[in-house]
Structure 1
Amino acid sequence: MDKIAVLIPCYNEAKTVEKVVTDFRRVLPEATVYVYDNNSTDGTAELAAAAGAVVRHEYQQGKGNVMRRMFREIDAEAYVLVDGDDTYPAEAAPEMVRAVTERQADMVVGDRLSSTYYTQNKRPFHNFGNDLVRFCTNNLFGGKIKDIMTGYRAFSFQFVKTYPVLSRGFEIETEMTIHALQRNMQVDNVVIEYRDRPEGSESKLNTYSDGFKVLGTILRLFKNYRPFAFFGVLAAVLAVFGVGFMIPVLNEYFHTGLVPRFPTLIVCCFVLVAALLLFVSGVILSSQLAKDARDFEFQLQTVQHWQSTARE
């Protein structure tokens, strides 16, 4: 087991990867730096190896796929995850590692948005997207995380070995954050300085397509982790529509004894039945979620025992 593992997922980062590896080897001399190359065609892997990194490969395209491979293969007491684009300062890494090793944090978020991000980042829609994702995540899942989409994080062994990587692309950051909030893990924020990519280095993140994937991930995880609220809201909406259209029909029946709009009455009955089914589904899934939470706590104990054994 490594004491500290620095994880750098890379796809065509030849202009910056050598500097990133060198910087992290300097500030964390006791760490092992791993670069996972994701089908780069510009010599990223060779440059990383020359700089002293342990280079491995993931052939399924996508940042989520790379992280799944890293989390499976590497055992360490503390992990630092950073992008290979040289936008994050290596100097913040020791503080983030101490939050894991000394303050028992499960995930440490490198907070760009509280420092220089808005002045350095030249893509205004990215700024809006970061604010929107932060607002949705914190309000739907009860968090106080300052930067949801940051690619600079530190993790504990328990987090890495109990986190199921389901996303394939850049929505992975949102998924990690929501997982930590849902599992009541300790999350710390460390303010970091952010610098935009150097000239000639291009972002792989598409503002619109990846942005919609992130919002879809939030909605999917809200359904999975807050089923009673999700299905309860849908049931309430259907119930309001059903009752709203049914009231005039019933009012006319009580005054005349006739029901001239049978199709409306039938549709309203079906809508109300659907609302009832959604409500019951939310109740059942909430009970299953409670059992899943109990099972997860036992899983954490198993992983902690495994870590203690590995140290010995």
Structure 2
Amino acid sequence: MRTLSIVIPAFNEAENLPHLMPLIPADELRRMGWETDLVVVDNNSTDGTGELARSMGARVVFQGERGYGNAYRAGLDAAHGDVIATGDADCTYPFDALPHLLATFEENQLEFLNTNRLLRSNRGAMKVSHTAANHVLSGISRSLFRNGLRDSQSGMWMFRRYVWERLNLRSGGMAFSQEIKNAATSAGFRYAEVPIEYRPRGGEVKLNALPDGVENLRQLFAHRFRKVTPVPVSHVIRERSGSSLPESLGAV
């Protein structure tokens, strides 16, 4: 039986974990032939996030250096699944949709799957200013990297473990999210993007919108002119506009 690692970075998310953990569909994944390796990264929390996650059955990795990218580095290094899925601990991402996402991932023989939150149906879950900033950053990212991804800032991805092992990522903060997508697509891994439901955040908002946005913009241009080592065999797939069905994924 293969293993799906689910890596969740968490900083002071004790309030949200009791709502999040029941969404992990371990039984359904097992029926599909996948064991679940749930990894919660305690990013130096002060509210008992790590202890609570451990008591609820997660494997907890501690990362004392705060930062979104730093948390992910620790969690992804510790993950041992054949495939790795990610999502934030703030209850915004649909972990209950993982079986559907995994089926799409496998049916299309993908190596990296991104998710798109920036749909009209999700507008109520995100502040207008954050929605606008996400569209701007995603548009600039598409222009620079020519990968067609509509949501460069999404925090839910799925990829094969060897993808992580072959990327050289540098960001320790929020820019990690766009960096991993742009690095994977630039390297030539087979990829796609599908829309997902995005839900209102639980608990305290921790995003520092202006400084994070400026740093993401800086990182985009720095990354664009970084040397990339291509992956030998390349067959790139992306989402065609307006559909979430597997058959909407076509070769570029």
Aligning the two structures, in what range does the TM-score lie when normalised by the shorter sequence? 0.7 to 0.9
Report the 3-state secondary structure (helix = DSSP H, G, I; strand = E; otherwise coil) of the residue aligned with 1:80.
strand
Gaps (5+ residues) in structure 1? 226-288, 299-312
Q: Secondary structure at the match of 1:52?
A: coil
TM-score, L = length of structure 1: 0.68
Tell me if 1:94 matches 2:29: no
RMSD: 1.9
Counterpart selection for 1:73 from 67, 74, 78: 78
Q: 2:60 aligns with which of 48, 51, 55?
A: 55
Partner of 2:29: 28
Asked if 1:6 is matched to 2:6, the reply is yes
Match of 1:237 in 2: none
Preserved CA contact (<8 Å) 2:37 2:81: no
The alpha-carbon deviation at position 101 of structure 1 amounts to 3.1
TM superposition shift of 1:17? 1.6
Q: What are the residue-to-residue correspondences of 1:1-312 with 2, within 5 Å?
A: 3-26=3-26, 27-29=28-30, 30-121=35-126, 123-198=127-202, 201-225=203-227, 292-293=229-230, 296-297=231-232
Cα distance in 1 between the residues matched to 2:76 and 2:124: 33
CA contact (8 A) 1:25 1:33 kept: no
Rounded Cα–Cα distance in structure 1 between residues aligned with 2:29 and 2:204: 27
TM-score normalised by the chain length of structure 2: 0.84
Structure 2 unaligned blocks of 5 or more: 234-252
Q: Could you tell me how far 1:192 is from its partner in structure 2?
A: 1.0
Distance 1:99 1:115 in 2: 22
Q: Is the 8 A contact 1:78 1:97 kept in 2?
A: no
User: How many residues end up aligned between the 2 structures?
Assistant: 228
* Larger fraction in strand: 2
Q: Is the 8 Å Cα contact of residues 100 and 156 (structure 1) preserved in structure 2?
A: no
Structure 1: distance between partners of 2:171 and 2:72: 10
Q: Which has the higher helix share?
A: 1
Deviation at 1:21, TM superposition (A): 2.1
Read off the aligned partner of 2:106 and give its amino acid letter: T
